[in-house]
Amino acid sequence: MAETLLEIKSPKVVDRSHSFDSLRNWVGVLPFFLFILIFLILPSADLFVGAFQDKNGYFTFANVIILLTDPSVIQAYEISLKISVITSIAGGLFGFFVAYAITMGHAPRWMRNILMSFSGLAANFGGVPLAFAFIATLGHTGFISVFLKQICFSNPSGAQTCPFDIYQAGFNLYSLTGLTLAYLYFQFPLMVLTIAPALEGLKREWREASENLGGASWQYWWHVALPILWPSILGSSILLFASAFGAYATAEALTGGFINLVTILIGDEIRGDVLSNPNEGYALALGMIVVMAVCVTVYTILQRQTGRWLKS
């Protein structure tokens, strides 16, 4: 009797096996994953699969081959690549210098504030309003076109010459050049926004340490600042490239779809305008996703590298 009373029973240890517990933890995020699966993964998979099918649903590489051989497709990729590269380099350089002016260049505070807020604005101000703004500025009767046309000088013979008529000189807003200019309007602020944090991450002490050890300004940039910054610069440029490559609205609104970009081509395909083989559209879309995926992957890798140095 006494023994049973004294016998202390240790409580049963509830064995929560890890897998059960962790499974329960995933319940909460299930709605999200389901949503993504149905509305993002599924359509993409559909495109992926469709790219390798023919009209009757059989597996084929034919679409991909057309992609690589059809001259209009090749041209579209060429033009898209061209505008993306040009705007990412030009926008990148210009954006870098403006970001430099904002963060380190000791420009007056009011200029810095304006530039930062407008960068935020302009980077979001894409597509249709942008196209209209450029038409209003550089179109045939646009503000700048007219303004330049009215700058006239007197000839020695007494007549007036107005040498700044840009349309006479061959400029056309509704061309690749015009589109490039329009793209730059959201490219360079995008660069400013993404590179300014990196520039601000350059510690003042690094510059001072370099000076203290005898380095001149250019030596600091060459040996310290640029090596630290190049992952960010490259990363941001890639972001710019991807942004231009995937852009549709600006091109459509500005040129009405006349310029043969890959995005425009896909748009035509959806409307059933151009290509006779609907699956070719899938291949086009797939090609586009591949390009963008490569960009974003490289960007992510570069971001990690940046984070390591600029947080130290």
Partner 1 sequence: MAYLELSHINKEFAKSVAVKDFNLSAEQGEFISFLGPSGCGKTTTLRMIAGFELPTSGKIQIDGKDLTLVPPNKRNVGMVFQSYALFPNMTVAGNIAYGLQMAGRPKPEIKQRVNEMLSLIHMEAFSKRYPSQISGGQQQRVALARALAIRPRVLLLDEPLSALDAKIRVELRQEIRRIQQQLGITTIYVTHDQEEALSISDRIVVLSEGKVEQIGSSSEIYNFPKTEFVANFVGQLNLLPVDVVNLTEGLVKVGGKIVKTSQPLDHQNGHAIRLAVRPEELNPGHREGENNLLGRVSTVTYLGPVVRVRLDVEGALLTIDMFNERRLQVPVVGDSFEFSFHPEACWLL
Partner 2 sequence: MVKVMKTKNNNGWGVFWAILGMLYFFVPLYGTFDFSLRAKKGVLSFLAYQDVLSSPQFLEHFRYSGIMGIITVVVSVLIFLPTVYWMYLRLPQARPVVEIISILPFIIPAIVYVFGLISTFGRPPLFLTLTPFRTDILITVGYVILSMPYMYRAIDVGMRSMDVRTLTEAAQSLGSNGFQVLFNVILPNMRIAVLSGALICFATVIGELVLGEFLVRPALGPYMVDVGRDQAYQPAAMAIIAWGLTWVCLGLIQIFGRGGTSQELVGR
User: Which residues form the interface with partner 1 (CB under 8 A)?
Assistant: 203, 205-206, 208-216, 219, 223-224, 227-228, 308-309, 312
82 binds partner 2 (CB under 8 A): no
Type of residue at 66: I
252 binds partner 2 (CB under 8 A): yes
Report d(CA 134, CA 250) in Å as an integer.
10
Instruction: Please choose which of partner 2, partner 1, none residue 173 contacts, taking the beta carbon within 5 to 8 angstroms, the exact cut-off set by kind.
Output: none
| Per-residue contact string for residues 40-69; x = within reach of partner 2 by CB under 8 A | x-xxx-xx--x-------------------
- Of 185 and 220, CB closest to partner 1: 220
What are the helix (H) ranges across the chain?
Answer: 2-6, 18-25, 30-36, 42-51, 62-69, 71-103, 109-124, 127-138, 143-149, 176-200, 204-212, 217-220, 226-245, 249-255, 262-271, 278-310
Contacts of 108 (CB under 8 A, 6+ apart): none
Measured between its terminal Cα atoms, the distance across the chain in Å is 69
* Site size toward partner 2, by CB under 8 A: 98
Residue 55: count other Cβ atoms within 10 Å of its Cβ: 11
Q: Of the candidates 52, 94, 221, 309, which one interacts with partner 2 according to CB under 8 A?
A: 94
Q: Of the candidates 23, 36, 74, 274, which one interacts with partner 2 according to CB under 8 A?
A: 36
- Of 73 and 228, CB closest to partner 1: 228
267 binds partner 2 (CB under 8 A): yes
- Of 140 and 308, CB closest to partner 1: 308
Asked if 40 and 268 touch (Cβ cutoff 8 Å), the reply is no
- Of 153 and 230, CB closest to partner 1: 230
241 binds partner 2 (CB under 8 A): no
